[in-house]
Amino acid sequence: MPRTRTRHIVALMSELATLSAVGATRPAPRCSEDKLAQVCGDVAAVFKRAWGRGPVRTTAHWAGPSILVVMLENGHTEAERTMRAAGHIQELLGGRHLLQVLIEDDLKASVARILGLPVVTMLSATRLDPDLSAEIFVLGSNGSDGRPAPCQ
């Protein structure tokens, strides 16, 4: 991994830890279950369009006032399972990372539209065993106090 990219990832992780620590004393935005379900549905739909198959289960959880974690379970395609069985793990993860980069703008736009809050950045992670991916959205502010406003 290039050195500048490593520094960028370390900086993002540090920022995420700081945001999480600062927000630990504040409650998560008040979003209806319908809004979180809509986020899950839209995120799964973006993956389905890009991969040809979406996850079997998608859930969304608040990890503080400005961090939303969307978990995608059992979303790998048959082709990815074949690559894994043949031992092509790095190629599989590299391809999945590339597709995640390509759909990042669509994911951020969907979350921002549904919650009514800007998405500052997002982080993606994938594991093969178990078949699990996470999309972590760091939300910006619409409120005058610098905190995310409730999305209702």
Task: Compute the distance between CA of residue 16 and CA of residue 105 in angstroms, rounded to an integer.
Answer: 19
- Domain range for 36 is 3-139
Contact 38, 149 (CB under 8 A): no
pLDDT in tens, the chain (152 residues): 455 544 444 444 455 555 455 444 455 666 778 999 999 999 999 999 998 889 999 999 999 889 999 999 998 888 888 999 999 999 989 988 998 999 999 999 999 999 999 999 999 999 988 999 999 999 998 765 555 554 65
- Tell me whether residue 65 is in a domain: yes
Asked, for residue 35, whether it belongs to a domain, the answer is yes
Q: Does any domain span residue 148?
A: no
pLDDT attached to residue 1: 47
Query: How many domains does the chain fold into?
Result: 1
Q: Is residue 56 part of a domain?
A: yes
CA–CA separation, 131 and 34 (whole Å)? 26
